[in-house]
C-alpha cells in the first residue's frame, strides 16, 4: 500500500484521533479528536509530519502522490462546505496552519483568509452583503501572505495602515470603513509587488501551494530551531500542515474571536479564564492591537454562546483530562472551536491543578506526578524576577544556581561581609571564587563569576547555600585594581546595582523587582505522593546545621555529603588551619629525614653512627617546634570540628550522615592575593616572605590531580585522625542525649585497594579508642567516594573493605573526559552548539562513558559485597535525567543540594513510574 499523506476531518467524523500526534501534529490530532466527539470544528485536512520529513530529506521536494491527495481532500472539503476555492459566486476560504507533535506556540507560520482574489472578493460581498468584512479579510490576507510566505516585512504594511488610521482620525482597525479598507488593500498589493517583484497571486491553488511550502519551511526557521533547543524538543519528524475552512470573527457585532483556558494558567484556580475581541480575527488578540475583553463579558454580550462555550470547555477538559488552551471564533452568533491543546501554565498553577484534578477524580496520583517537570520546582523554591519588569540584559553566563538577586557590586569577600553587616544587598563579582571567599559568598545575595562551569567552586557552594549564581560569564572582564567590570563597552563600578538570574544566566543593569517564593499545601501533597511511589532515597549535600535543617524541612532523608573542608573557614578557625598547613610540610620533611637516619644508623657500625646520631638529634630538635605548632593547631581544631558534627547530628536525628574527610589540596586554604598574604603574615606574626615561600612550596601544576583527598591522609595521618576522633566523640555525645546517630565516614579520591585498607585501619583504630574512652557504643560505617576511573574498574577489590560507595560524579566526569570542570565554560558551549556534545556532562551525567563506569563500579562492588550501599553525591544528584539513570542502575540514594531535594524526590518518583528497579544486575 502506498503511504497516506493527508487525513480529513469534518462532518462529525475524522480519519485521525488524539493518539496520532506523531503523525498529525498536536493541532491536527486534536482537531480530529474534537470532530469525533462532536465539538463544532470547521472541517479541513491535515498533511502529515512524514511529508515534512520527506520534504527536507528530498531537497525540499514533496513525495510522489501528495498533490493528488491534497486535491482529493480539497474537493471533499468543498463539497462539505458547499463552496469552492476560487469560485467567484461562492468562494471557499481556508486557513493554513502549522502543528508539530510538541506544542511550539507562535514559532511556526499561519496564513488566514486564503482563497481571496478580486473575483472572490466581489462574490463574497454579494453573498454576505458585508462589504467591510470582505475588504478587512482581504487586506489581512495580503499582509499575512506577504509576511509569512514571501518574507515582506510586516511593518511595511503596518505603516500604511497607521497612515490611513491617522488620516481617518481613528484609533483601531475596526473603525476603518469598507472604502478605506479597499484603498488599503490596493496599496498593500503595491507594497507586495515592490518587495517581491511579482504581482500578488490571484490563483487560489497557487496561493495554497505557496502557503503549504511556507509552513513546512517554517519548521527550520531560526525561532523554531531556537525554541526546540531551549525546550529540548527532539526526535520529531517535523510539522504537519492543517488546511481548514475559515470561519470569521470579523463579520460584525455578533462575531468575535478569543482564547480561553479551562482553568487559570497563572494560579491554577478552577475558574474559566480567557479573553475575546468583538468583530476581529485571531491575530488581533495576539498582536495586542486592541485591548481584549475578559471572557466573563461574553456572558452579558452573547449569553447563549457563552453557555455553549462553557459546555465545550468542560467537555474538552474532561475528555483530555488536562487544562485546555482553546481558540474559538464566533461567526454571526455561531460558535466554532478552532484549536485545543494542553495549556501551558506556571509551576505554581501546575502543582495546584495536578492536586485538584486528583481530588476531583479526574486523574490519579501517578498521572499527577508525571504532569510536573521536576526542574520547574526551582521556581517555587527561589525568588524569581517579576516577568512584567523591564530588563536591560548586559551579559549572559551559565545558570549555575537558580534564583533572582539584586544588589550592589562588590569585588571581594571582605567587602561583601562588611556591606552585608550594614544591611546592604550585594552581588559578589569575582573572576572565580575559592574556599577563602566563603564568608563573602554567604553574605552576598548572589554571585557572578567570569570563569568556571556548572560544577565550579562558585556553582557548588552557591547551590548548597541556596544562593543565586551566574558562572563562566566570559564577556565580563573584572579589573580588581580599578574596582570595575567591563562588558560590551559598558563600565560597571563598585557600588552600582546589578541583577542576576541564576535560572537563565542573565546579568542585568539596575534593580529588577523580584517575587518571593511561596510553598502551598498542594506542593506538600504532591511531595507525599511522590514519596509513596519512589524507590530511591533522597539525601542532601550539607556542611552546616543551617543547610541540614533546611534540607530536612524539604524532605531530605539523610546527608549524603558533608564536606569537612568548608567548616575550616568558620569564625576563629582559619588561623588554626593555616598554622597547621604552614607547619605540616616541615613536620613531614623532618619526620622523613629522621626515619631515613634511623634506618641508616641501623645498617652501619658504631663508630660511623656517631655522626649520623648527631644529625638525628639535630633533626629531632628541629622537629619539636613545627611538630608542636602542627599538633597544637589540630588540638584547637578538634573541639571546633566536634561541635560542628554535634550540631549536624542533632539536626539529622535518626538519619544517616556521610562525612567526607578532608579532600582539597592544602594550598586552597592559603591566600593567593598579595594583600591577603600580608594580612595573614601580620596575624600569624611571621614574615611575608615566609608566607610567600610556603604558598609557593604548596603550589601544584595540576592540583585536582595532585596532593589531595586520601593522599593527604596518607601523608599527614594526624589530620584524618583528628577528624575521625571529632566525628566519633560528637556521635557519642549526642547519643548520650538520646539522639539517634548514624555516622558514615567517607574516604575521598581512593584509587587503590591498599590506600583504602591502610586508611580504614587507621579510622577503626581511632574510632575504637574513642568509643572505649567514651564508654558508648556507636555503629558507624567506613566507605569511599568512587571518583576515579580506576576505582570504578577495581570496585570489587575496594568493596572487600568499603561498606558503602558514593559516586563523586563531578570528579569522575572530569577524570573520564579529561575536562577541567573549572574551565569548561571556555569550550563546552562550542561543543554543544556544534553538536559534538548533547549536554554539558557536568550538568547531566554522560551515561555512555561516565555512566558506564558507574554501572561497572556498582556491579563489581556488589559482586564482592551484595549488600553494598550505593549512592551519588556529585551535583548530578539533583538532575532529573541523572536521577532516572541512578534508579535504573540500582542505586540506594541520590544526594543533592538542599534546594534540589524536592526536585530529586519528584524525579525519583517519575523514574519509578517509567522503569522497573534494578539492583546490581546491570
pLDDT digit string, tens, across residues 170-181: 988 889 999 999
Dihedrals phi, psi of 293, to nearest 5 degrees: -100, 150
Dihedrals phi, psi of 374, to nearest 5 degrees: -55, -40
Dihedrals phi, psi of 515, to nearest 5 degrees: -120, 125
- Condensed to tens digits (0 to 9), the pLDDT of residues 398-439 reads 888 889 999 999 999 999 999 998 999 999 999 988 777 888
Please name which of 706, 707, 713, 678 lies closest in space to residue 692, comparing C-alpha atoms: 678
In angstroms, rounded to a whole number, what is the distance separating the alpha carbons of residues 486 and 498?
13
Tell whether the model's pLDDT for residue 915 goes beyond 90.
no
In angstroms, rounded to a whole number, what is the distance separating the alpha carbons of residues 445 and 226?
31
Strand partners, 428: 410, 447
Query: What is the per-residue pLDDT for 920?
Result: 42
Confidence of residue 821 (pLDDT cuts 50, 70, 90): confident
Place of cell 548572589: 446
Mind telling me the catalytic residues? Answer: 457, 873
CB atoms within 10 A of CB 290: 16
Please state the rounded mean pLDDT for residues 762-791.
97
Place of cell 462539505: 80
Tell whether the model's pLDDT for residue 214 goes beyond 90.
yes
Please name which of 482, 440, 485 lies closest in space to residue 465, comparing C-alpha atoms: 440
Tell whether the model's pLDDT for residue 298 goes beyond 60.
yes
In angstroms, rounded to a whole number, what is the distance separating the alpha carbons of residues 351 and 528?
13
- Condensed to tens digits (0 to 9), the pLDDT of residues 558-605 reads 999 999 987 887 667 888 888 888 888 888 888 889 988 888 888 877
- Condensed to tens digits (0 to 9), the pLDDT of residues 727-772 reads 999 999 999 999 999 999 999 999 999 999 999 999 999 999 999 9
Q: At what angle do helices 753-774 and 717-736 cross, to 10 degrees?
A: 40
Tell whether the model's pLDDT for residue 919 goes beyond 60.
no
Please state the rounded mean pLDDT for residues 316-338.
96
Give the residue, 154 or 231, on which the prediction is more confident: 154
CB 138 within 8 A of CB 185: yes
Q: Give the strand pairing for 506-509 and 893-896.
A: unpaired
Please name which of 240, 241, 258, 257 lies closest in space to residue 249, comparing C-alpha atoms: 257
Residues 6+ apart with CB under 8 A from 19: 29
Please state the rounded mean pLDDT for residues 763-782.
97
- Please tell me which of 38-47, 663-672, 813-822 the model is most confident about, judged by mean pLDDT: 38-47
Q: Is 120 helix (H, G, I), strand (E, B) or coil?
A: helix
Query: What is the per-residue pLDDT for 209?
Result: 97
Give the residue, 209 or 674, on which the prediction is more confident: 209
Query: Which segment of 144-153, 221-230, 638-647, 764-773 scores lowest on mean pLDDT?
Result: 221-230
Tell whether the model's pLDDT for residue 921 goes beyond 70.
no
Tell whether the model's pLDDT for residue 889 goes beyond 50.
yes
- Condensed to tens digits (0 to 9), the pLDDT of residues 366-389 reads 999 999 999 889 878 888 899 889
- Condensed to tens digits (0 to 9), the pLDDT of residues 80-97 reads 999 999 899 999 999 999
Tell whether the model's pLDDT for residue 289 goes beyond 60.
no
In angstroms, rounded to a whole number, what is the distance separating the alpha carbons of residues 846 and 843?
9
In angstroms, rounded to a whole number, what is the distance separating the alpha carbons of residues 818 and 828?
12
Strand partners, 540: 559, 896
In angstroms, rounded to a whole number, what is the distance separating the alpha carbons of residues 441 and 434?
10
In angstroms, rounded to a whole number, what is the distance separating the alpha carbons of residues 239 and 49?
5
In angstroms, rounded to a whole number, what is the distance separating the alpha carbons of residues 499 and 511?
6
DSSP 251: S
Query: What is the per-residue pLDDT for 290?
Result: 67
Q: Give the strand pairing for 468-471 and 398-401.
A: antiparallel
Please name which of 67, 20, 5, 10 lies closest in space to residue 43, comparing C-alpha atoms: 10
Query: What is the per-residue pLDDT for 870?
Result: 98
Handedness of CA 313, 317, 318, 319 (dihedral sign): positive
Residues 6+ apart with CB under 8 A from 781: 743, 744, 745, 803, 804, 869
**Exposed, middle or buried by CB within 10 Å (0-12, 13-18, 19+), for 361?**
exposed
Query: What is the per-residue pLDDT for 681?
Result: 86
In angstroms, rounded to a whole number, what is the distance separating the alpha carbons of residues 215 and 678?
67
Tell whether the model's pLDDT for residue 922 goes beyond 50.
no
Please name which of 147, 149, 118 lies closest in space to residue 134, comparing C-alpha atoms: 118
Confidence of residue 266 (pLDDT cuts 50, 70, 90): confident
- Condensed to tens digits (0 to 9), the pLDDT of residues 472-523 reads 898 999 999 999 999 999 999 999 999 999 989 999 999 999 988 777 789 9
Cell numbers at residue 324, please? 485546555
Query: What is the per-residue pLDDT for 917?
Result: 55
Tell whether the model's pLDDT for residue 18 goes beyond 50.
yes
In angstroms, rounded to a whole number, what is the distance separating the alpha carbons of residues 643 and 650?
11
Please name which of 576, 684, 717, 582 lies closest in space to residue 639, comparing C-alpha atoms: 576
Query: What is the per-residue pLDDT for 106?
Result: 67
Average pLDDT along the chain: 92
Burial 249-280 (b: 16+ CB within 10 A, else e): bbbbeebbbbbbbbbbbeebebebbbbbbbbb
In angstroms, rounded to a whole number, what is the distance separating the alpha carbons of residues 896 and 544?
14
> In the chain, what is the greatest distance between 2 CA atoms, to the nearest angstrom?
129
Confidence of residue 287 (pLDDT cuts 50, 70, 90): low
Handedness of CA 633, 635, 640, 642 (dihedral sign): positive
CB 904 within 8 A of CB 878: yes
Q: How far is CA 140 from the centre of its chain?
A: 40
- Element at 864 (helix H, strand E): helix 850-864
Give the residue, 184 or 1, on which the prediction is more confident: 184
Cell numbers at residue 321, please? 483530562
Amino acid at each position: 500500500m502506498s503511504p497516506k499523506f493527508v487525513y480529513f476531518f469534518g462532518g462529525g467524523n475524522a480519519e485521525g484521533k488524539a493518539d496520532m500526534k506523531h503523525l498529525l501534529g498536536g493541532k491536527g490530532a486534536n482537531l480530529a479528536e474534537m470532530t469525533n466527539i462532536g465539538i463544532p470544528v470547521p472541517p479541513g485536512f491535515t498533511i502529515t509530519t512524514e511529508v515534512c520529513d520527506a520534504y527536507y530529506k528530498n531537497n525540499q521536494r514533496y513525495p510522489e502522490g501528495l498533490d493528488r491527495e491534497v486535491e482529493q481532500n480539497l474537493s471533499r472539503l468543498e463539497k462539505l462546505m458547499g463552496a469552492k476555492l476560487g469560485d467567484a459566486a461562492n468562494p471557499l476560504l481556508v486557513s493554513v496552519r502549522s502543528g508539530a507533535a510538541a506544542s511550539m506556540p507562535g514559532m511556526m507560520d499561519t496564513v488566514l483568509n486564503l482563497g481571496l482574489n478580486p473575483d472572490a472578493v466581489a462574490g463574497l460581498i454579494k453573498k454576505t452583503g458585508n462589504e467591510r468584512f470582505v475588504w478587512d479579510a482581504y487586506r489581512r490576507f495580503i499582509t499575512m501572505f506577504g509576511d509569512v510566505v514571501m518574507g515582506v516585512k510586516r511593518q511595511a504594511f503596518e505603516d500604511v495602515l497607521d497612515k490611513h488610521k491617522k488620516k481617518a482620525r481613528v484609533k483601531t482597525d475596526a473603525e476603518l470603513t469598507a472604502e478605506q479598507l479597499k484603498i488599503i488593500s490596493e496599496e498593500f498589493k503595491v507594497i507586495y509587488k515592490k518587495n517581491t517583484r511579482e504581482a500578488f497571486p490571484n490563483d487560489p491553488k497557487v496561493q495554497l501551494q505557496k502557503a503549504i511550502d511556507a509552513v513546512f519551511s517554517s519548521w527550520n526557521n531560526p525561532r523554531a530551531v531556537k525554541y526546540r533547543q531551549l525546550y529540548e524538543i527532539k526526535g520529531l519528524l517535523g510539522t504537519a500542515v492543517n488546511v481548514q475552512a475559515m470561519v470569521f470573527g470579523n463579520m460584525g457585532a455578533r462575531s468575535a474571536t478569543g482564547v480561553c483556558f479551562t482553568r487559570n494558567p497563572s494560579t491554577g484556580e478552577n475558574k474559566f479564564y480567557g479573553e475575546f475581541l468583538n468583530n476581529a480575527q485571531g491575530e488581533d488578540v495576539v498582536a495586542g492591537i486592541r485591548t481584549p475583553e475578559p471572557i466573563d463579558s461574553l456572558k452579558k454580550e452573547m449569553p447563549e454562546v457563552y453557555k455553549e462555550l462553557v459546555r465545550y470547555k468542560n467537555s474538552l477538559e474532561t475528555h483530555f483530562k488536562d487544562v485546555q488552551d482553546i481558540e474559538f471564533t464566533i461567526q454571526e452568533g455561531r460558535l466554532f472551536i478552532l484549536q485545543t491543546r494542553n495549556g501551558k501554565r506556571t509551576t505554581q498553577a501546575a502543582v495546584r491543578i495536578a492536586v485538584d484534578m486528583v481530588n476531583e477524580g479526574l486523574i490519579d496520583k501517578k498521572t499527577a506526578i508525571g504532569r510536573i517537570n521536576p526542574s520547574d520546582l526551582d521556581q517555587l523554591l527561589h525568588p524569581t524576577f517579576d516577568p512584567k519588569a523591564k530588563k536591560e540584559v548586559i551579559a549572559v553566563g551559565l545558570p549555575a544556581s537558580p534564583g533572582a538577586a539584586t544588589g550592589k557590586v562588590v569585588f571581594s569577600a571582605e567587602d561583601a561581609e562588611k556591606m552585608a553587616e550594614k544591611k546592604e544587598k550585594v552581588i559578589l563579582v569575582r573572576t572565580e571564587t575559592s574556599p577563602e571567599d566563603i564568608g563573602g559568598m554567604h553574605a552576598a545575595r548572589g554571585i557572578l563569576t567570569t570563569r568556571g562551569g556548572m560544577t565550579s567552586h562558585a556553582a557548588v557552594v552557591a547551590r548548597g547555600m541556596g544562593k543565586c549564581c551566574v558562572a563562566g560569564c566570559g564577556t565580563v572582564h573584572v579589573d580588581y585594581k580599578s574596582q570595575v567590570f567591563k562588558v560590551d563597552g559598558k563600565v560597571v563600578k563598585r557600588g552600582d546595582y546589578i541583577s542576576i538570574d541564576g535560572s537563565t544566566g542573565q546579568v542585568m543593569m539596575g534593580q529588577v523587582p523580584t517575587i518571593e517564593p511561596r510553598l502551598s499545601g498542594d506542593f506538600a501533597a504532591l511531595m507525599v505522593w511522590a514519596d509513596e511511589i519512589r524507590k530511591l532515597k533522597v539525601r542532601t549535600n550539607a556542611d552546616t546545621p543551617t543547610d541540614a535543617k533546611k534540607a530536612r524541612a524539604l524532605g531530605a532523608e539523610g546527608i549524603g555529603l558533608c564536606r569537612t573542608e568548608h567548616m575550616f573557614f568558620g569564625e576563629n578557625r582559619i588561623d588554626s588551619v593555616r598554622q597547621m598547613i604552614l607547619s605540616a610540610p616541615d613536620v613531614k620533611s623532618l619526620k622523613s629525614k629522621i626515619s631515613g637516619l634511623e634506618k641508616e644508623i641501623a645498617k652501619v657500625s658504631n663508630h660511623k653512627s656517631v655522626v649520623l646520631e648527631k644529625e638525628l638529634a639535630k633533626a629531632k630538635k628541629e622537629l619539636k617546634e613545627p611538630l608542636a605548632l602542627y599538633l597544637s593547631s589540630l588540638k584547637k581544631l578538634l573541639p571546633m570540628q566536634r561541635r560542628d558534627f554535634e550540631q549536624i547530628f542533632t539536626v539529622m536525628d535518626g538519619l544517616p550522615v556521610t562525612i567526607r574527610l578532608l579532600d582539597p589540596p592544602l594550598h586552597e586554604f592559603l591566600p593567593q592575593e598579595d594583600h591577603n598574604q600580608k594580612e595573614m603574615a601580620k596575624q600569624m606574626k611571621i614574615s611575608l616572605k615566609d608566607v610567600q615561600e610556603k604558598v609557593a612550596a604548596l603550589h601544584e601544576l595540576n592540583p585536582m590531580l595532585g596532593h589531595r583527598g586520601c593522599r593527604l591522609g596518607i601523608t599527614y595521618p594526624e589530620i584524618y585522625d583528628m577528624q575521625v576522633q571529632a566525628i566519633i566523640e560528637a556521635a557519642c555525645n549526642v547519643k548520650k542525649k538520646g539522639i539517634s546517630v548514624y555516622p558514615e565516614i567517607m574516604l575521598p579520591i581512593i584509587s587503590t585497594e591498599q590506600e583504602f585498607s591502610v586508611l580504614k585501619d587507621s579510622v577503626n583504630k581511632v574510632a575504637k579508642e574513642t568509643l572505649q574512652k567514651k564508654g558508648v557504643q556507636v555503629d558507624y560505617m567506613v566507605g569511599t567516594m568512587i571518583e576515579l576511573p580506576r576505582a570504578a574498574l577495581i570496585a570489587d577489590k575496594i568493596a572487600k573493605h568499603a561498606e558503602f560507595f558514593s559516586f563523586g560524579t563531578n570528579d569522575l566526569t572530569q577524570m573520564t573526559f579529561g575536562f577541567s570542570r573549572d574551565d569548561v565554560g571556555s569550550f563546552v558551549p562550542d561543543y554543544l552548539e556544534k553538536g559534538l556534545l548533547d549536554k554539558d556532562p557536568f550538568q547531566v551525567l554522560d551515561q555512555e562513558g561516565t555512566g558506564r563506569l558507574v554501572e561497572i563500579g556498582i556491579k563489581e562492588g556488589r559482586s564482592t559485597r551484595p549488600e553494598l550501599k550505593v549512592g551519588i553525591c556529585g551535583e548530578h544528584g539533583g538532575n532529573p535525567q541523572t536521577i532516572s539513570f541512578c534508579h535504573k542502575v540500582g542505586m540506594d540514594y541520590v544526594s543533592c543540594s538542599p534546594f534540589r531535594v524536592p526536585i530529586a524526590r519528584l524525579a525519583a518518583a517519575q523514574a519509578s513510574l517509567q522503569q522497573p528497579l534494578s539492583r546490581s544486575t546491570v
